[in-house]
Amino acid sequence: MDIFLMFLSVFGGLICVPILLSLARGFGLYTVVNESEAQVFTLFGKVIGTLDEAGLHFPVGTFGPRAMLIPFFGKRHTVSTAMRQHYLRNQMVNSEEGTPMGVGIWYEMKVVNPVDYLYVNANPDGSLEANVASSTISTLSNLEMETMLENRHSLSRSVRQTVSPLSEKWGYQLGSVYIRKVGFTDASMVSNITEKVVKRLVQVTSAMKQDGDNRVGLIQSETAYKVSQKMAEASSKRPEIVGDTLNAIAKQDPEIMRTVIDVMETDQLLESGAGVDVMPDNASFIVQLGEGKSSDSTPPVLSVRH
């Protein structure tokens, strides 16, 4: 008997307790608010309050006895307040040059006023998306292509400043807005731009190569000039050094000096290629000098006197 009663109590607890809790929640005796969630309570079509703190709540204690009528004459709306992220692809804009371009814009938002989110706008998500798209198009249209490609950060801030006031009226708080992609939609234009870029790269490469060759030539000419200058300075110093050396030799030993001068004269005479007339000592000759330089190269004529 005891075992039967124990089984009956356990079975009744497992069945009856969940049913009683479900009935209590259904009649609005308590409610559970999850993280990043808000619950809006209405009675007879009028908002009586909002619960946005996570945890267990008792509407009767928060809104009074009228909360007992909510299950019969009111409604409980659950609104997510988590951060949401959206990406709009290929928003068509025209640059100042008339080039059609596709823009991708990423933005994030969250609900901060659940009542305005539910009742100010019938479709707040679609309205915010359309507002972001229209603001992006109005901000980027008729801008220079260079500005659209290079100043995306400042343009993103401009779009956010334009959209934020309207989003707050609809219960949203707009977070980051960023223009992630700016691309060309015309395939032929992409091909033309690619061809122009390739040609420009070839021109730049050729100009860099020519500039390098010019610099190398300039360095070589400057180096040759400095080398020739140093060689000229060395050549101009040579006579002075040789003269100082000969003077020093003459002071120390005049005999050596005379020998050196004789050797130098002989060396110069040999290098000049001039003819040499040799006469023996104590000989009575009448010599016609200089005949060795004639065209027939005949030897000088010697006349001997006895």
Query: How many domains does the chain divide into?
Result: 3
Q: Do the beta carbons of residue 38 and residue 32 sit within 8 Å?
A: no
Of the candidate ranges 49-63, 154-168, 266-280, the one whose mean pLDDT is the lowest: 266-280
Residues 125 and 179 in one domain: yes
Is residue 298 domain-resident? Answer: no
Say yes or no: 129 and 192 in one domain. no
What is the average per-residue pLDDT within 39-45? 91
Residue 136 in contact with residue 106, Cβ under 8 Å?
no
> Which of 40, 55, 80 is a domain's end point?
80
Range of the domain at 237: 188-273
15 vs 289, higher pLDDT: 15
Last residue of a domain, one of 119, 153, 185: 185
118 contacts: CB under 8 Å, gap ≥ 6: 40, 77, 79, 171
Res 41: pLDDT: 92
In a domain, 147, yes or no: yes
23 and 54 assigned to the same domain: yes
| Predicted local distance difference test score (pLDDT) of residue 78 | 92
Q: Is the pLDDT of residue 268 over 70?
A: yes
Instruction: Answer yes or no: is 63 within a domain.
Output: yes
Q: Which residues contact 173 (CB under 8 A, 6 or more apart)?
A: 109, 110, 111, 112, 167
Confidence at residue 295, expressed as pLDDT on a 0 to 100 scale: 47
pLDDT at position 40, please? Answer: 93
- Specify if 162 maps to a domain: yes
Closest CA to 273 of 246, 296, 254, 292: 292
Q: How many CA atoms lie within 13 A of 132 on its CB side?
A: 28
Give the chain's mean pLDDT.
80
Are both 193 and 241 inside the same structural domain? yes
- Residues 151 and 91 grouped into a single domain: yes
Lowest mean pLDDT among 3-17, 101-115, 173-187, 278-292: 278-292
Do 227 and 179 reside in the same domain of the chain? no
Got the DSSP string for 35-103?
Answer: TTEEEEEEETTEEEEEE-SSEEE-HHHHH-GGGGGHHHHEEEEEEE-S-EEEEEEEEEEE-TT--EEEE
pLDDT one-digit tens code per residue, 116-127: 989 888 888 888
Out of 9-23, 46-60, 168-182, 289-303, which region has the weakest mean confidence (pLDDT)? 289-303
Judgement on whether residues 193 and 209 belong to the same structural domain of the protein:
yes
DSSP 8-state class, residue 227? H
Q: Is 126 domain-assigned?
A: yes
CA separation for the pair 60, 52 (Å, rounded): 16
Q: Are residues 89 and 176 in the same domain?
A: yes
DSSP, res 117: H
- Assess if residue 177 is contained within a domain: yes
Domain of 134, CATH number, reads 3.30.479.30
Banded model confidence at residue 288, pLDDT cuts 50, 70, 90: low
Answer with the one of 50, 65, 80 that is the final residue of a domain: 80
Residues 159 and 121 in one domain: yes
Do 236 and 262 belong to one domain?
A: yes
Sequence length of the chain is 306
Global confidence as pTM: 0.53
156 found inside a domain = yes
Q: 74-103, pLDDT tens digit by residue? A: 898 999 999 989 998 888 888 777 778 888
Q: What is the pLDDT of residues 134-189, one digit of tens each?
A: 888 888 888 887 787 778 888 888 888 888 888 888 888 888 888 887 777 767 76
- For residues 92 and 76, membership in a common domain is answered with no
In this structure, are 25 and 99 located in the same domain? no
Domain membership flag for residue 291: no
